[in-house]
Amino acid sequence: MRLLPVAMFVSALLPVDALACGGFFCDASQPVFQAGEEIVFAIDEDTVTAHVSIAYEGPAEEFAWIVPVPSEPSLFESDALLFAELRSATNPQFQVRRTQRGVCEVAFRTSLSPFSAQQDPDGVTVVDEVRVGPYDTVTLQALNSDVLIDWLQTNGYDLPSDLSPKLAPYVAANQFFVALKLASDADVGQISPLGMTYPATTASIPIQLTAVAALPDMPVDVYVFGNSRAVPDNYLHIEANEAAYDWYSTLDSDNGAPGSNYFDVLSDGVDEAGGHAFATTFSDRSGSVPGSSEQLDILQRQFGHLTRLSTTLDPEEMTVDPVFVLNADVEQFVSNIHSATDERKCGFYEGRRAERNLILDDGRKIRLPSQPWASAHETYFFELTEELHTPAALLIEDLGAEGQGEVLFDYREQAALDAKRFSRPGCGCSSSSSSAHYAFLLLPLSLLRRRRQQGSERGADL
């Protein structure tokens, strides 16, 4: 698909003597490093509306911003709440369901919570702990509000001690408490969103302007409203390997946060696809996203579908502006909730030490040694399954505005065989050792080169 020419409207936005730092403009002694990019698109038949919000790191007392669009835009102030609500509703979430077979020495309870609760000696019960986007979150119950505050403060949640009386009635009513804090790798910097509407038939991110000031592995999240699911048109599309996620922080400690390496898996999968690829994080009816933002309400009334696509890019990979189109032929629904089942076998089965299984939603069952064996060998389950972590992308495909696209690499069937063959120390059973066929290393480079060349030619047309 040939793109419309890009009209630069630099002079309308920036002073003449501004110094360029990629998509930002900044003081030469105080560069604004771009740590992430979020863009909301709405694609109508011949009109595109864009809302842009960009996170940054470093001093930002003086900066300006440049955004190219295909034609003269109509500008308006967007709403930061729009991004917050979209992010909250579509962020990847990880849940571990627990089942038990046999009689365990230490029983654990199961409930609607995806994690088993573990009560600390200080009277606080950790019901759930999970990484949600930039936040570390924890769900708690407590015997009283004082021990609740003490636990939160001890674990890095900056809450005032005089909050205890306000929490007391809720503790007495046996309610749950959800606390959150920014994760160690998150940054609070964020510029104010800008909205624009312009004539166009596709949506594109001017990523090349970002390269000068971008940080390595910069996350890019794109939300696309339309009448069907959105797909990348000149970048590849990947599906991640669920076995590569760190489910085992929960299995190892009973109150860890599964999926904490989500962005590492995404980045590795994108690299396996040649550096220019997106994964679909979420795709569903636009009305399924709750919120109170005025802009969100407008978008939901005009468009019936919402897609979130995610990638990571190094500065040297920002050579082609990604383009997005709507495709009504591919599967329309993709959940942002990733789940697995931790099946514990307790006692002895058939004269051998019982194991545990991690069962993924795609049907793969990964056999693991018993918890006592892992503890005795000071080994984490995540380390034991390292051979199943590659490839990070089980599926690499070339999609467009119509049809099912072209599958360039499909490791899903082989991944199921690898899980069956997986041998684990200390399990006490016999199975053939895994000989993973790293076919993804043999992905024809000509396909990727051809794809990159096509993308470069499209970029030249902008």
pLDDT at 134 (0 to 100): 45
pLDDT at 406 (0 to 100): 97
Q: Which of 186, 178, 269, 222 is nearest to 90 (CA)?
A: 222
pTM over 0.85? The answer is no
Q: What is the pLDDT of residues 427-437, one digit of tens each?
A: 433 344 443 44
Domain residue ranges in the chain: 10-91+186-235+276-335, 110-182
Mean pLDDT for the stretch of residues 184-197 = 62
* Number of DSSP helices (H) and strands (E) in the chain, helices first: 11, 26
Query: Given pLDDT bands bounded at 50, 70 and 90, which one contains residue 210?
Result: confident
By DSSP bridging, strand 236-240 and strand 393-398 are: antiparallel
Residue 135 in contact with residue 180, Cβ under 8 Å? yes
pLDDT at 151 (0 to 100): 76
Which token pair is 216? 């390595």
How many angstroms separate the CA atoms of 180 and 266, rounded? 24
Query: Given pLDDT bands bounded at 50, 70 and 90, which one contains residue 67?
Result: low
Q: Where are the alpha helices (DSSP H) in 273-388?
A: 294-302, 371-376, 381-384
pLDDT at 79 (0 to 100): 85
Which token pair is 223? 């939300």
Q: Report the percent of the chain where pLDDT is more than 90.
A: 38
**Residue 164: enclosing H or E segment and its boundaries?**
helix 164-172
Q: What is the pLDDT of residues 82-135, one digit of tens each?
A: 999 999 999 999 988 877 665 554 433 332 223 333 445 457 777 667 554 444
- For 92, other C-beta atoms within 10 Å of its C-beta total 22
Q: What is the pLDDT of residues 136-183, one digit of tens each?
A: 666 667 788 788 778 777 876 666 666 676 667 556 656 566 665 655
Q: What is the dihedral of CA 15, 17, 19, 24, to 10 degrees?
A: 0
Q: What is the pLDDT of residues 349-408, one digit of tens each?
A: 443 455 778 999 999 999 888 767 777 777 788 888 999 999 999 999 999 999 999 999
Task: Please name the residues in contact with 442: beta carbons below 8 A apart, sequence gap of 6 or more.
Answer: none
